[in-house]
């Protein structure tokens, strides 16, 4: 019975992990050989018991590979099909960190948070490890055999019963494979569906131009940007590049002559809204009317008239005036959730203003097949219901979970599809309904390609063999085409061999090393505007509306099992581990008939702040939202700045088969989302269920209590006197414009030392996107602690982004975002009080934390005025999951319970650079080493898409950080405590439109 | 040999009344007090068994709490960032404070020649020791890695590292360990003559042997007494600065930091006064039931209680002055953060604690101005209990309310103690009472020889007074009492 297939089957079921070895006689022999070696070595190690491991040295050392020295590979990471170019760090063959690829247009030197978190997804122990056939373990071979039979059947009908469902595809290779498949089976159909799709944008271009074009923007030329519910400063196609170009126009120096200006009209507060110079809150349904009003004021003919909210009317004059003053250097953009007609209007406005060709660029579609994805999933669902589908191949995505609720996709798929296949990273909601589940290879494990937002194709290259034996989408397509054993590298190379001219090998190597294939950017087009497309009326806004938004941390739910993201405080709510019904204080008061006068929030005094604090007690009350014949119960969360009579719910929660992290977290809003209005719609009613639910946020106090924490100024005044913000603060605090803080402690002089590391954080540039926070977590092996631990104030992120609400009206406030990590004080209060000297200064002025010496008195944290220290109250680091161990950064100590930790300025990177510099100096025969500016880039700085964070040597006057620190609006937080922090802030400068600013002043005086 | 006459045998200042009830003799004193430890095991009063059983059960709660703490880590408590110290440090300071009454009574009152202290000093000293034993757990247990507590002690080591002598936590190590050492020495030395008494009175040979060993050969010779008096005096001299230093140094844990509400210069004297205040409350709380139960009313008279109540009132008013200075400091500082601290105390989310402490420590002690209240046993019990709660609240206010809301509002968070916070606290109370019950059962609770001596002094004084009344001079009293 030793090697019969039946026995192998039994073993496969019994010991799925060890099974492959029995199949492989070579492996068994080498195992015995190595066993012999380890027995011999056992004598050397003496009596210490070591767990038995298989080790094998390289016979030939691979080129460029030195143990302990990381290597970077260029690749791409996808979000909704669009690529962000990255450089992946590989430590001894294990990918451990993803950095931006500045050469890649989709990255432009920054990334979003999802890119940063991909490492954890790849090593997620919950990932699927097994091919499943109706839930039972099976094999790839069994699958391909079954598929071959099915395809034979399809061949007869030309694939009439076959449907391919994918997510948004930009991959040229995959598109090519799909077209081969469709050529072979002409009756088959290919559908695409992503719940966060760009249907409206494409429908808008069809309305405006009657053709599919991709619109992209050049923010570097935009002086005035009007965003109509467009959250372009949060992840999406082109995010990193857009954010970089936009922020370039806002990081001011004392001699800056100009600054761009951003108007945002939106319902759900976003990072973009928080960054805006003027934020106009209105229901999502009112944006269309607002756009129509602007368009007709600009003289665009044939525009229908919609209602404009009263509070917004005064902005229209200003926006029109400002746009007209900036013809050719202005930009009107529309959010993907706005109806097509608004997009069409924006195209018309941009054309009218002469922005096309300068700030707005039209190109060939970047997606392989732009389409209305909501219609496609609806058609598919109907076909399934009609029994027309007998083979459904789903590549990626999770339609059983995230299809609009009214399509009843999961139900129909389970009942009516005889043979279905789902390729997925997890055995998720769709996989469990599919006949076959194939574990997918992660993008860090696969060969593939993908396009950036502007069309440039880049190669996705694997850093590691698929950990769990996953397959790529190319392999599934190949199997469908009858080539079940071809490997993905051959497929991708095969495609590009046909595309690239000249020496293929050189071109291929070049593409691998730069991460992109030159000259593949989408060609520009000059579509002609059709006037008739502009007259459409948008659906009238309802009395009360419900807005669906992607979650800022877990997107459409596909990141729900990523602990870094799940525990990442959402930028504006600071909520973790839940979604909520987000609404403004006024709306909550009205809907729940609270005995609270909303005018208590208006006035701009500390009393108003306390009124908001008192009102926020209602957070967590469970309300029932009745929406289109369905209802969901959600805890409410007050979000000052949310449009009145509008409630936002984030998608992506309420997963049942996400994994140990994501299961059962939050409420699934897809259930009530409908295919006719996927983004917002009129809400029937909101009622108080009487229940309460524990919502956990990392920031319980929302205002600044009148303290000098976040400094803001206006560009007009800054131009006259760049020092005016500091002077104003000093005048208020001390009565004089100039003030130096007296200290009783002797000063240490670090200027004579070799390097003095410092950091600046530019508050004008920070958009609160959280990429830095996740980057820090990935780089520094920071554990995830869970909702319950966060609820008692024990989150571990070293870097946090504080959010404060301020201003006259706390129902419609200014929102301030302030990244905070260890300030690396020169006179650190933490160091004085540690009884065992576990936190000490080094010669470069860094405030170091010596984990091995820490006994855990926590006194340092008590004495830290910035409260940036984090304590391992329990054993937070998971020491048992093997895959998670592989993903950790080997250069950073893994901390166990009872130890304090905090931001180190990525001291491992500093040390690495110093060692290299010293080696270089020694080999040049010199004693003096120099570390050039920009050689050390901290993880947060590297990820930041807006260059808000700058790190460097402040002793080097030529360094970026030194030059920023010399700017007059540079300030130290809590400077009067004389901690002399190395991290300083550049005050935020806003650029309000003069007419509106004057209006605000008058209103303030009247108020 | 020319030397100062030991204080203990100096004539008492004539305060008029005596603290002892009439009718006591040397023998009656020895038997009333000395017979308690010598009672045969089976004749132990049932009340003791019940009390000890309850205390021992609580001690088991302590055991469970500590075990779970060591297994899981300090995360079982409610502490967090920003409130990284919670009931661990509150209870540490609370217990240390309670201990202070014992040292004050045994050392300072001895040096000040206050004869009335003789009736209560043994008990108060024992209480000090047990309170320090409870307090001493916390600084170790509150560590993230308690098994490394010895890194706080300066010793030559292979790390080549010393502790950070700038840290008040390191000063605590010296302050508390010195305090514990001196207190235990003082207490044990004071017990030697009484061990001899017990040895002499015991009938069971085994008991005789045990107490005999503890008495270290004490025979009551004049030489013994002389040495003994000198040793007591020296230890009293050593203890006296400790009364002031220990709690001053504990207060520096806070005063050295820069947390609003901690960096207060009045803290050292204010903490010392608070400690004595809490300590006397605890002495009363324990002494009153014991005195009734064992019939010690003739040694711990109503006058003793009256005097202790006066000390409580005086130290309590010092503490109230401290509260006043805190308010003044925060208003006068012109610092937003300090001013906000006051605002947070009076109207923040934990304002109940501040009002509670004002009621307990400032309002509830005011009736003690009246002799009728000071001599009313139920009233004293109630007030002492309120003070104990109040002093706990004081530490809660200082530690938790200050940390809850310091500089950056973004980090503000609440502290909610968990069941393990409370169980460890209750557990230390169990430890305290278990030790107290063992002490009551096996050692003389009241200093036998000092009471006898005091009786002698009082008799002498009565004679003197009588003589003065008769116009005769009977001459100076001399000599000292000796053990029987």
Tell me the pLDDT tens digit for each residue of A264-301. 999 999 999 999 999 999 999 889 999 999 998 888 88
Give the residue with greater pLDDT, A705 vs A537: A705
The two three-digit tokens of residue A746, written as one number: 């002797």
B42: closest CA among B432, B441, B430?
B441
% pLDDT > 90, chain B: 40
What pLDDT score does B10 carry?
Answer: 53
DSSP letter at A619?
Answer: T
Lowest mean pLDDT, pick from A209-218, A265-274, A509-518, B441-450: B441-450
Nearest CB to A836: which of B151, B259, B406? B151
Q: For tokens 């210490």, name the residue.
A: A48
| CA distance linking residue A569 with residue A573, whole number of Å | 7
What pLDDT score does A1006 carry?
Answer: 41
Q: Which chain B residues contact residue A817 at CB under 8 A?
A: none
User: Based on C-alpha coordinates, what's the Rg of chain A?
Assistant: 29
Q: Which residue of B has its CA nearest to A840?
A: B164
Q: Which chain B residues contact residue A739 at CB under 8 A?
A: none
The two three-digit tokens of residue A47, written as one number: 């009596």
Query: Does the residue B474 lie in any domain?
Result: no
Q: Which chain B residues contact residue A977 at CB under 8 A?
A: 258, 407
Residue A463: pLDDT above 50?
Answer: yes
SS percent in chain A: helix, strand, coil, step 5: 35, 20, 45
Q: For tokens 């690239």, name the residue.
A: A500
Q: Are A73 and A484 in contact (CB under 8 A)?
A: no
Domain A214-250+259-362 fold is Dimethylsulfoxide Reductase; domain 2 (3.40.228)
| Section A358-381 average pLDDT | 92
B364: closest CA among B317, B404, B300, B305?
B317
DSSP letter at A690?
Answer: E
The two three-digit tokens of residue A399, written as one number: 């339609």
Domain with CATH 3.40.228.10 in chain A: 214-250+259-362
Q: Which of residues 415-474 of B touch A (CB under 8 A)?
A: 416
Residue B483: pLDDT above 70?
Answer: no
| Section A742-763 average pLDDT | 83
% pLDDT > 70, chain A: 93
Q: Which of residues 124-153 of B touch A (CB under 8 A)?
A: 142-146, 148-149, 151-152
| Section B72-82 average pLDDT | 93
Contact A897/B73, CB-based, under 8 Å?
A: yes
Q: How many domains does chain B have?
A: 1
| CA distance linking residue A565 with residue A665, whole number of Å | 13
Would you say the C-alpha torsion B131, B258, A742, A760 has a positive or negative sign?
positive
DSSP string covering A331-380: EEEE-TTS-HHHHHHHHHHHHHTT-BTTTEEEES-SSSS---HHHHHHHH
ipTM of the complex: 0.88
Q: Is A895 helix (H, G, I), strand (E, B) or coil?
A: coil
* Strand pairing class (A983-986; A757-762): parallel
What pLDDT score does B415 carry?
Answer: 93
* Strand pairing class (A419-424; A391-395): parallel
Chain B: closest CA distance from residue A320 (Å): 38
Chain B: closest CA distance from residue A980 (Å): 14
A791-810 tens-digit pLDDT: 999 999 999 999 999 988 88
Q: Are B245 and B21 in contact (CB under 8 A)?
A: no
Average pLDDT taken over every residue of chain A: 88
The pTM for the full model equals: 0.88
Domain span at residue B136 reads: 19-155+162-460
| CA distance linking residue B275 with residue A558, whole number of Å | 59
| Section B112-134 average pLDDT | 81
B334 pLDDT band (50/70/90 cuts)?
A: confident
Whether B414 and chain A come into contact, CB under 8 Å, resolves to: yes
Q: Which residues are A663's β-sheet partners? A: A655
Q: For tokens 């008096």, name the residue.
A: B229
What pLDDT score does B482 carry?
Answer: 38
Chain B: closest CA distance from residue A802 (Å): 6
Residue B290: pLDDT above 50?
Answer: yes
Residue A27: pLDDT above 60?
Answer: no
B356-375 tens-digit pLDDT: 999 999 999 999 999 998 88
Chain A: closest CA distance from residue B166 (Å): 6
> Which residues contact residue A68 at a Cβ distance below 8 angstroms, ignoring those fewer than 6 apart?
A91, A92, A890
Nearest CB to B144: which of A703, A856, A867? A856
Q: Is A852 helix (H, G, I), strand (E, B) or coil?
A: helix
A121-146 tens-digit pLDDT: 999 999 999 999 988 899 999 999 99
B78 pLDDT band (50/70/90 cuts)?
A: very high
Chain B: closest CA distance from residue A853 (Å): 9
Lowest mean pLDDT, pick from A174-178, A248-252, A735-739, A999-1003: A999-1003
Residue B4: pLDDT above 50?
Answer: no
Nearest CB to A855: which of B148, B159, B416? B148
Q: For tokens 């910035």, name the residue.
A: A866
A864-916 tens-digit pLDDT: 999 999 999 999 998 888 889 999 999 999 999 999 999 999 999 999 999 99
B40 pLDDT band (50/70/90 cuts)?
A: confident
| CA distance linking residue B392 with residue B15, whole number of Å | 36
Residue A1: pLDDT above 80?
Answer: no
Q: How far apart are the first and last CA of chain B?
A: 27
B91: closest CA among B49, B133, B135, B47?
B135
| Section B444-453 average pLDDT | 79
Instruction: Tally A–B CB contacts below 8 A.
Output: 166
Q: Tell me, what CATH number does B366's domain have?
A: 1.20.1630.10
A480-501 tens-digit pLDDT: 988 888 989 999 999 999 888 8
Q: Are A717 and A959 in contact (CB under 8 A)?
A: no
What pLDDT score does B3 carry?
Answer: 42
Whether B210 and chain A come into contact, CB under 8 Å, resolves to: no
| CA distance linking residue B443 with residue B437, whole number of Å | 10
Contact A862/B257, CB-based, under 8 Å?
A: yes
Query: Does the residue B4 lie in any domain?
Result: no
Query: Does the residue B115 lie in any domain?
Result: yes
Distance of CA B296 to the CA centre of its chain: 20
DSSP string covering B318-334: HHHHHHHHHHHHHHHT-
Chain B: closest CA distance from residue A861 (Å): 7
Q: Which chain A residues contact residue B83 at CB under 8 A?
A: 793
Q: For tokens 């650029």, name the residue.
A: A991
Q: Inter-axis angle of helices B46-72 and B121-141, to 10 degrees?
A: 20
Distance of CA B481 to the CA centre of its chain: 29
> Which residues contact residue A527 at a Cβ distance below 8 angstroms, ignoring those fewer than 6 apart?
A205, A208, A209, A211, A213, A362
- Cite the DSSP H helix spans in B142-221: 168-201, 205-215
């Amino acid at each position: 019975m030793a090697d019969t297939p039946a026995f192998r089957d039994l073993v496969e079921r019994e010991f799925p992990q060890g099974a492959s070895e029995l199949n492989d006689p070579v492996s068994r022999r080498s195992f015995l050989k190595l066993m012999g070696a380890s027995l011999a070595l056992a004598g050397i190690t003496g009596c210490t018991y070591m767990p038995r491991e298989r080790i094998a040295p390289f016979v030939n050392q691979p080129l460029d590979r030195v143990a302990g020295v990381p290597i970077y590979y260029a690749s791409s990471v996808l979000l909704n099909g669009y690529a962000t170019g990255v450089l992946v760090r590989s430590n001894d063959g294990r990918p451990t960190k993803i950095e931006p690829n500045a050469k890649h247009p989709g990255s432009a030197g920054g990334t979003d948070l999802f890119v940063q978190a991909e490492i954890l997804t790849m090593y997620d122990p919950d990932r699927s490890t097994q091919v499943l056939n109706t839930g039972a373990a099976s094999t790839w071979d069994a699958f391909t055999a079954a598929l071959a039979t099915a395809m034979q059947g399809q061949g007869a009908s030309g694939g009439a019963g076959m449907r391919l469902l994918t997510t948004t595809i930009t991959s040229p290779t995959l598109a090519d494979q799909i077209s081969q498949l469709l050529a072979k089976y002409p009756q088959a159909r290919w559908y695409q569906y992503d719940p966060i799709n760009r249907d409206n944008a494409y429908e808008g271009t069809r309305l405006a131009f009657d053709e599919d074009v991709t619109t992209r923007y050049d923010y570097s030329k935009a002086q005035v940007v009007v965003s109509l519910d467009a959250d372009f400063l949060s992840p999406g196609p082109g995010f990193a590049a857009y954010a970089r170009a936009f922020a370039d126009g806002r990081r001011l120096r004392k001699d800056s002559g100009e600054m761009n200006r951003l108007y945002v009209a939106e319902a759900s507060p976003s990072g973009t809204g928080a960054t805006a110079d003027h934020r106009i809150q209105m229901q999502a349904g009112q944006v269309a009317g607002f756009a129509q009003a602007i368009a007709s004021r600009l003289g665009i003919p044939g525009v229908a008239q919609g209602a404009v909210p009263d509070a917004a009317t005064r902005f229209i004059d200003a926006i029109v005036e400002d746009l007209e003053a900036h013809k050719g250097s202005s930009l009107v953009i529309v959010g993907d959730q706005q109806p097509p007609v608004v997009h069409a209007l924006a195209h018309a406005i941009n054309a009218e203003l002469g922005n096309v060709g300068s700030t707005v660029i039209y190109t060939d579609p970047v997606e392989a097949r732009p389409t209305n994805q909501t219609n496609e999933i609806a058609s598919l669902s109907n076909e399934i219901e009609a029994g027309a589908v007998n083979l459904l191949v789903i590549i990626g995505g999770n339609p059983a979970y995230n299809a609009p609720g009214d399509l009843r996709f999961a139900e129909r798929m389970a009942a009516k599809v005889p043979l279905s296949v789902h390729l997925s990273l997890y055995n998720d909601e769709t996989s469990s309904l599919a006949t076959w589940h194939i574990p997918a290879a992660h993008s860090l494990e696969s060969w593939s390609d993908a396009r950036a937002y502007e069309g440039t194709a880049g190669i996705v290259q694997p850093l590691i063999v698929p950990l769990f034996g996953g397959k790529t989408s190319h392999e599934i397509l190949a199997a469908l085409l009858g080539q079940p054993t071809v490997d993905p590298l051959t497929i991708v190379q095969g495609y590009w061999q046909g595309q690239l001219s000249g020496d293929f090998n050189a071109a291929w190597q070049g593409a691998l090393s730069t991460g992109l294939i030159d000259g593949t950017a989408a060609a520009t087009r000059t579509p002609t505007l059709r006037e008739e497309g502009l007259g459409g009326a948008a659906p009238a806004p309802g009395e009360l509306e419900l807005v669906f938004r992607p979650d800022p941390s877990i997107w459409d739910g596909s990141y729900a099992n990523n602990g870094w993201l799940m525990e990442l405080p959402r930028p504006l709510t600071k909520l973790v581990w839940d979604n909520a019904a987000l609404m403004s204080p006024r709306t909550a008061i009205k809907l729940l008939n609270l005995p609270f006068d909303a005018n208590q929030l208006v006035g701009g005094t500390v009393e108003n702040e306390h009124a908001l604090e008192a009102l926020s007690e209602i957070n967590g009350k469970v309300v029932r939202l009745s929406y289109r014949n369905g209802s969901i119960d959600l805890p409410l969360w007050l979000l000052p700045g949310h449009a009145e009579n509008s409630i936002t719910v984030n998608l992506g929660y309420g997963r049942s088969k996400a994994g140990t992290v994501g299961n059962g977290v939050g409420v699934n809003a897809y259930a009530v989302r409908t295919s006719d209005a996927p983004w917002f719609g009129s809400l029937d009613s909101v009622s108080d269920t009487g229940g309460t639910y524990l919502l956990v946020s990392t920031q319980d106090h929302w205002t600044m209590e009148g303290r000098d924490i976040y400094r803001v100024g206006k560009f007009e005044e800054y131009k006259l006197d760049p020092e005016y913000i500091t002077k104003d603060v000093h005048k208020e605090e001390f009565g004089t414009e100039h003030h130096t803080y007296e200290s009783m402690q002797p000063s240490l002089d670090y200027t004579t030392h070799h390097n003095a590391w410092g950091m600046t954080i530019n508050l004008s540039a920070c958009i609160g996107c959280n990429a830095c926070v996740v980057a820090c977590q990935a780089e520094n092996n920071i554990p995830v602690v869970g909702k319950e631990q966060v609820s008692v104030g024990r989150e571990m992120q070293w870097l946090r982004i504080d959010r404060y609400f301020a201003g006259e009206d706390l129902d419609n406030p200014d929102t301030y975002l302030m990244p905070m990590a260890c300030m690396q004080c020169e006179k650190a209060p933490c160091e004085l009080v540690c009884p065992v000297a576990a936190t000490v200064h080094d010669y470069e002025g860094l405030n170091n934390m010596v984990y091995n010496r820490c006994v855990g008195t926590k006194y340092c944290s008590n004495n830290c005025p910035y409260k940036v220290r984090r304590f391992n109250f329990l054993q937070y680091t998971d020491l048992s999951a093997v895959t998670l161990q592989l993903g950790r950064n080997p250069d950073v100590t893994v901390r166990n319970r009872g130890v304090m930790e905090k931001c180190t300025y990525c001291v491992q990177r500093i040390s690495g650079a110093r060692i290299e510099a010293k080696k270089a100096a020694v080999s040049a025969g010199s004693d003096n080493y120099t570390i050039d500016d920009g050689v050390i880039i901290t993880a947060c700085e590297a990820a930041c898409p807006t260059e808000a964070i700058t790190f460097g040597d402040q002793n080097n006057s030529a360094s970026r950080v030194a030059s920023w620190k010399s700017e007059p609006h540079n300030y130290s937080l809590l400077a009067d405590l004389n901690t002399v922090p190395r991290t300083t802030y550049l005050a935020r400068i806003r650029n309000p439109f003069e007419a509106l600013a004057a209006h605000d002043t008058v209103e303030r005086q009247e108020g | 040999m020319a030397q100062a006459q030991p204080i203990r045998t100096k004539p008492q200042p004539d305060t008029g009344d005596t603290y002892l009830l009439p009718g006591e003799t040397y023998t009656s004193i020895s038997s009333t007090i000395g017979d308690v430890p010598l009672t045969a095991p089976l004749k132990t009063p049932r009340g003791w068994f019940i009390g000890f059983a309850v205390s021992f059960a609580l001690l088991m709660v302590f055991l469970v709490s500590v075990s779970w703490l060591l297994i899981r880590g300090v995360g079982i408590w409610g502490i967090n960032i920003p409130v990284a110290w919670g009931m661990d440090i509150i209870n540490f300071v609370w217990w240390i404070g309670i201990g202070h009454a014992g040292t004050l009574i045994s050392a300072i009152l001895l040096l000040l020649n206050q004869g009335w202290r003789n009736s209560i000093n043994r008990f108060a000293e024992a209480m000090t020791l047990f309170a320090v034993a409870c307090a001493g757990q916390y600084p170790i247990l509150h560590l993230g890695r308690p098994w490394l507590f010895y890194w706080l002690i300066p010793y030559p080591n292979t790390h080549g590292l010393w502790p950070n002598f700038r840290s008040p936590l390191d000063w605590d190590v010296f302050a508390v360990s010195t305090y514990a050492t001196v207190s235990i020495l003082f207490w044990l030395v004071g017990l030697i003559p009484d061990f001899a008494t017990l040895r002499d009175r015991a009938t069971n040979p085994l008991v005789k042997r045990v107490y005999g060993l503890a008495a270290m050969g004490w025979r009551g010779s004049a030489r013994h007494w002389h040495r003994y008096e000198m040793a007591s005096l020296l230890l009293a001299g050593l203890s006296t600065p400790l009364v002031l230093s220990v709690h001053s140094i504990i207060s520096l844990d806070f005063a050295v930091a820069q947390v609003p509400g901690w960096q207060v210069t009045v803290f050292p004297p204010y903490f010392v006064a608070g400690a004595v205040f809490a300590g006397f409350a605890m002495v009363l709380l324990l002494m009153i039931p014991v005195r009734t139960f064992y019939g010690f009313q003739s040694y711990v008279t109503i006058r003793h209680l009256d005097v202790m109540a006066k000390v409580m009132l005086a130290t309590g008013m010092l503490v109230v002055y401290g509260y006043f200075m805190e308010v003044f400091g925060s208003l006068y500082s012109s610092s937003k953060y300090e001013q906000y601290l006051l605002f947070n105390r009076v109207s923040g989310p934990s304002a109940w604690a501040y009002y509670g402490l004002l009621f307990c420590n400032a309002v509830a002690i005011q009736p003690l101005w009246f002799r009728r209240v000071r001599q009313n046993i139920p009233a004293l019990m109630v007030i002492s209990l309120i003070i104990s709660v109040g002093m706990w609240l004081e530490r809660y206010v200082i530690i938790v309310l200050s940390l809850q809301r310091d500089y950056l509002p973004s980090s503000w968070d609440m502290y909610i103690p968990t069941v393990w916070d409370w169980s460890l606290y209750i557990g230390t109370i169990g430890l305290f009472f278990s030790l107290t019950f063992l002490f009551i059962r096996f050692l003389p609770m009241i200093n036998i020889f000092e009471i006898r001596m005091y009786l002698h002094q009082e008799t002498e004084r009565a004679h003197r007074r009588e003589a003065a009344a008769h116009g005769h001079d009977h001459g100076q009293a001399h000599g000292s009492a000796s053990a029987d």
